[in-house]
Chains A and B, each alone.
Chain A
C-alpha cells in the first residue's frame, strides 16, 4: 500500500483500534485477516499483533472471561462472543481529537478547487453526518483549519489527464530562469503540500519532474496516451525539494532582516552571526537560480560563495540601475536610501 504513513506502535492508537476491532469482529465470525486489515487501514502484521493481545483482555482475567479470539493466519475466530455483553460491544462515540482530525481534513479536501464535483458532494454529505454523530466532540474542530491552494482549471485538466491516461502539453514558468518553457508531460499524480503540484515524467528532460500548478501558464490535454516509465513514488513527507548530495553548495550571509531565508530554503546549516544574522549553507543543482534571492535580499544579505553568483547579482543590479540613470536624470525622489524604515519587510511568499 504505497503512500501510507508509517505509524509507530503507540499504545493509545492500538487500544483505540482494538476497541473497534472487538465490535467489528463480533459481527463477523470467520472474518478474513486480509479483509479486516484493509478495512482498518493497517498491515496484516499490525492486525496479528492486535490479535495476540486480545486473548489477554476481558472484563476480568479470572474465571474464563477473557476474549477467546484466535487466528490461523487466514481467518479470525471468536469462540466466546458472549464474554462481552452485546451492549459492551457497541461502536464507541468519537473523541474530540478524532472528530477534529477527520472533520478538519474533510473540510480542507472539500476546498480543493479541482476536486471532482461528485466527490465534493459526497465529502460534504459525509462531513455533515460525522458532525452530527460526533455531537459535542465536533466543537473543537473549528479551532483548526487548513486551506489548500490550487489553480482550479489547471487542476481539473491534470486530474482528467491522469484518469484518462493522456499526455499533457504545458507552458510552464520557471522562476529560476524567469522564462516560460513548453513541455509535454506524462502526469503521474497530484500532490497538495501547501501548494498543489503535479508529479510527471517530463519528456523534454527525460526525467521525473514536479510542476507547481500555479506556475502552469497554459495547459492542453493531448490525444497521445500518457506513458510514464515505471517509477517508484517518492515519499514526499520530507518536502518536495530534496537537494542531492552532489549539488553545488551556496553560502549566504544575512542580517536580522534576511532571516526568512532559513524558513523558505531547505538548507544544510544556519549558524548564528554576532550581529543577529545567519550564515546559511544550502545546496542547489543550479546556483545561478539564486541570483533572484541575492537581488531580493538587498542590504539584508549577500552571497558569500560561489563568487560567480555574487558577481552576477552585482552585475545585474548595476545594469538595472543604469536604466534609471538614463530615464530619470532629474532624480525625482532625492537620494536613495533616505528612508530605511521602508525596508522592514521580510515576508516572502513563494
Chain B
C-alpha cells in the first residue's frame, strides 16, 4: 500500500528540522521510506519538489545550501522556524478561539485551526474551551465564490491574473487583465480591488460575476500598489448609499418603515399620508417603485419622471 502523503510530509519535515547540517537529496531519499518506494529518479524528484512546496505552505523555512563540491543540501534551521515567545491569557485565548472558527472556506478554516494549534503547542491556555461559544454570537465569513481562493493566493503573492468578468448589465463576460491588490467582504459578498491593465486604472470587481477560471500570469505588477485600498467606498457608491441631494415624497401612513428610518424630515398631512424628506442618491428610483401605490414622488422632477417611467413599464407588463 502506498504510504500516505501526510506521513511522507511529516517525515521530511522532521528530517529537515532535526538536522544541524544540510542534507543532500540522496540522504533524504534514504531517510524517508516513501521516497525509497518512489521508484524512478524522476518520480522521486517530482515528489520531493512538491513536498518541499507543501511544507513551505505550512510555514516551514527550508534553506538550500550548496556545498563546496557543488552538491545541494537542505535544512530547516531552528532559529528561522521557531515561533517567537508569545504569552496569551485565558480571555485572549478564548477570543482567538472564537475568531479561528469564523471561516467557512476550507483553506482558511484549516489555516486558522493550524495557527491555533501552533499557539496551543506554544502554551496557549486551555482553561476556556475555545470551541464552545463564550458569547451567543456566531459570526461566519461566507465564501461561496470559486474565484476566492486563486485570487487570495494571487493577492498574497502579488501575481497578475486573467479572468472573464460579466458586468452587472452585460450578457456576455469579457476578459480582464488585473493586478490584484486586496479582497474585501462586505455585506456577505466578496469584492476584488486591483489595477485593470487594459483600462489603465483601479477597478473593483464583484467575485460572483467572475465566470470561469482565474488564471495566473507569470509577470510582475506594473502599477504601484496603494497603501490604502478603498473597496467599500466604491461598492457603497454602486449601491446608492452616497446620497448628495434630497427628495420629497408622499408616503401612506404606516407604510414604508425603511423610508421613514432614513428620512431627514417627516410631516403628517392628516389625510392618511405623510410627507417625507429623504436622501436622494443613485438607485432611489428603483427602491421607491417597490412601494407601489404607497409612495408618490413630489420632487425633484427628474426623480419623479424616473419613477413614473418605471411604473409605466410594469403597468404595460
- Structural contact, B184 and A145, CB atoms closer than 8 A: yes
- A221 to B104 alpha-carbon distance, docked (Å): 32
* Complexed CA–CA distance, A132 and B88 (Å): 12
Of A8, A98, A346, which is within 8 A of B114 by CB?
A98
Chain A residues whose CB sits within 8 angstroms of the CB of B129 once the complex forms:
38
B116 CB within 8 Å of chain A: yes
Q: Are B18 and A59 in contact (CB under 8 A)?
A: yes
**Among the listed B99, B185, B186, which residue makes an inter-chain contact with A102, where contact means beta carbons less than 8 Å apart?**
B99
- Stretch in B40-48, B213-221, B263-271, B301-309 touching the partner: B301-309
State which residues 68-105 of A face B: CB under 8 Å. 84-85, 87-88, 90-102, 104-105
Q: Is the CB of A194 within 8 A of B92?
A: no
Q: Does A305 sit within 8 A of B, measured CB to CB? A: no
Q: Which of A19, A40, A116, A316 contacts B293 (CB 8 A)?
A: A316
Are B309 and A58 touching (Cβ within 8 A)? Answer: no
Supply 23 A–B pairs (Cβ within 8 Å), ascending by A.
A12-B57, A18-B6, A38-B129, A39-B120, A57-B10, A59-B19, A95-B60, A98-B114, A102-B96, A126-B95, A129-B88, A133-B83, A159-B135, A178-B294, A191-B138, A277-B171, A295-B314, A298-B286, A298-B311, A298-B313, A318-B315, A336-B309, A345-B240
Contact of A295 with B292 in the complex, beta carbons under 8 Å? yes
A314 at the interface (CB under 8 A from B): yes
B100 touches A105 (CB 8 A): yes
Known A296-B286, A321-B311, A349-B239: A106·B141 in contact at CB below 8 Å: no
Interface size of A by Cβ–Cβ distance < 8 Å?
Answer: 148
Residues of A within 8 A of B298 (CB): 327
CA A256 – CA B170 in complex, angstroms? Answer: 6
What are the nearest 4 A-B pairs in CB distance?
A194-B188, A276-B171, A95-B59, A162-B136
Determine if B131 and A299 form an interchain contact, defined as CB atoms under 8 angstroms apart: no
Complex partner residue of A236 from B101, B103, B134, B140, CB under 8 angstroms: B140
Min CB–CB distance A343 → chain B (angstroms): 8
- The answer to the question of A137 belonging to the interface, with a C-beta cut-off of 8 Å to chain B, is yes
Q: Does A204 contact B (CB under 8 A)?
A: no
**Contact of B95 with A106 in the complex, beta carbons under 8 Å:** yes
Q: Are A96 and B156 in contact (CB under 8 A)?
A: yes
Name the residue on B nearest A60 (C-beta).
B31
Tell me whether B101 and A5 are in contact (CB under 8 A): yes
Spot the interface stretch: B64-72, B197-205, B250-258: B250-258
Q: Does A317 sit at the interface, judged by CB under 8 A?
A: yes
* B188–A195 touching, CB < 8 Å: yes
Cβ-closest chain B residue relative to A160: B136
Whole-angstrom CA separation of A178 from B107 in the bound complex:
41
A122 touches B94 (CB 8 A): yes
Tell whether, in the assembled complex, residue A159 and residue B168 are in contact, meaning their CB atoms are under 8 Å apart: no
CB of B192 to closest CB in A, whole Å = 10
A190 to B103, CA, bound (A): 16
**Chain A residue nearest to B130 in the complex (CB):** A41
**CB-nearest residue of chain A relative to B36?**
A61
CB-CB < 8 A to B112: which residues of A?
98, 101-102, 105
Known: A112-B139, A314-B315. A18 touches B10 (CB 8 A): yes
Chain B residues, CB < 8 A from A59 = 14-15, 18-19, 31
Asked whether A257 is an interface residue with its Cβ less than 8 Å from the other chain, the reply is: yes
